[in-house]
Amino acid sequence: MSAPRGGPDLVLSVIVPAYNEAGTLELVVRRLREVPLRLEVIAVDDASTDGTGAILERLERERLIDRVILQPVNRGKGAALRAGIAAATGEAIVVQDADLEYDPAELPALLEPIRAGKADAVYGSRFQGGPHRVLYFWHYVGNRLLTLLSNMLTNLNLTDMETCYKLVRAELLRRLPLTSDRFGFEVEITARLSQAGARIWEIPISYSGRTYAEGKKITWRDGLAAFFHILRYNLLRPGGDWRRR
């Protein structure tokens, strides 16, 4: 899959999905604005109940956020991301969680393979040797097992399928048939990129994971659901001509 090289004027659309992230949201947005790239910041509030929506609207008035999308009901991360993707106007799109686990300062390195015309998607891997906060052993094991199963069905050699940092050419991302409403998004987009024949690169990133006391939302139930999502999205492929390039 070939694509034109991106020059210095390439715009990166950053989608910030948020659900009850009032404590960290503004700092994440301000860190994004420190990144030396042309960014379009689109925030999607997934019907938060802690004042997240009001913070986003203030940041939009201050022109720190380019567009705020308010979901009328809580539908999950995947649904929020689809809304953000539909609104994005940049040449490349990436997700930035609002919880400070991923460092926006690493976005220029993630964008470089796409800017150079070498990649269609770039994954930021937490397991390629970057600095990281030491946390839960079983989360690490679960991530590795899910990545292994995904790789077996996609024939990719990823080290971190579940990473939030997936930076994708916008033209490609918009035509992927994405349907997942919740955390199955990470599995689904990986399956669809593989099926589309996308050129995928991985780059090591740092990772400052949260504890449950600090607001982490992923549980063992999400891991179990991801197992079935891997089978579903890889074995049941949608029809149509979306894979043409």
pLDDT value at position 237?
A: 83
Contact between residue 133 and residue 214 where contact means Cβ atoms under 8 Å apart: no
Domain that holds residue 46: 11-235
pLDDT value at position 199?
A: 98
Q: Compare 46 and 240 and report the one with higher pLDDT.
A: 46
Could you give the CA distance from residue 141 to residue 138 in angstroms, rounded to a whole number?
5
| 102 within some domain | yes
Which of 63-67, 182-186, 212-216 is predicted most confidently? 63-67
Q: How many domains does the chain have?
A: 1
| 241 within some domain | no
| 231 within some domain | yes
| 240 within some domain | no
Tell me the mean pLDDT in the region 133-148.
76
pLDDT value at position 84?
A: 97
pLDDT value at position 2?
A: 40
**Tokens coding 19:** 């659900």
Q: How far apart are the first and last CA of the chain?
A: 7
Contact between residue 55 and residue 25 where contact means Cβ atoms under 8 Å apart: yes
CATH number of the domain that residue 72 is part of: 3.90.550.10
| 225 within some domain | yes
Q: Which of 95, 126, 81, 134 is CA-nearest to residue 13?
A: 95
| 4 within some domain | no
| 3 within some domain | no
| 78 within some domain | yes
